[in-house]
Amino acid sequence: MAEKTPNQVKAAHAASPKLKQKDNIYEAEYLGSGTFRIVKPKRQARKRRQSALKGTTRGARK
């Protein structure tokens, strides 16, 4: 087993050179007069469902 020196820090998961990140996932275009066209990925259905199931009840008092 190789010992790590303090200078060798493991890269974050998303910063891994083995993972290929898609280019231009988010995009914003200025149309003028304070108007922008924003393109971003859709939320995944399974994550929306889990958020609704585990999230707080809408309209409930704290």
**Within-domain flag for 46:** yes
**Within-domain flag for 34:** yes
pTM over 0.85: no
Residue pair 28/36 in contact by the 8 Å Cβ criterion: yes
Q: Which domain holds residue 38?
A: 23-53
Q: Which residues lie below 8 Å from residue 25, measured CB to CB, with a gap of 6+?
A: 40, 41
Say how many Å lie between the first and final Cα of the chain, rounded: 52
pLDDT over 90 (residue 31): yes
- With helix as H, strand as E and coil as C, how does the chain read? CCCCCCCCCCCCHHHCCCCCCCCCCCEEEEEECCEEEEECCCCCHHHHHHHHHHCCCCCCCC
**Within-domain flag for 4:** no
**Within-domain flag for 15:** no
pLDDT over 80 (residue 33): yes
**Within-domain flag for 10:** no
**Within-domain flag for 8:** no
**Within-domain flag for 14:** no
**Within-domain flag for 7:** no
pLDDT at 18: 76
**Overall number of domains in the chain:** 1
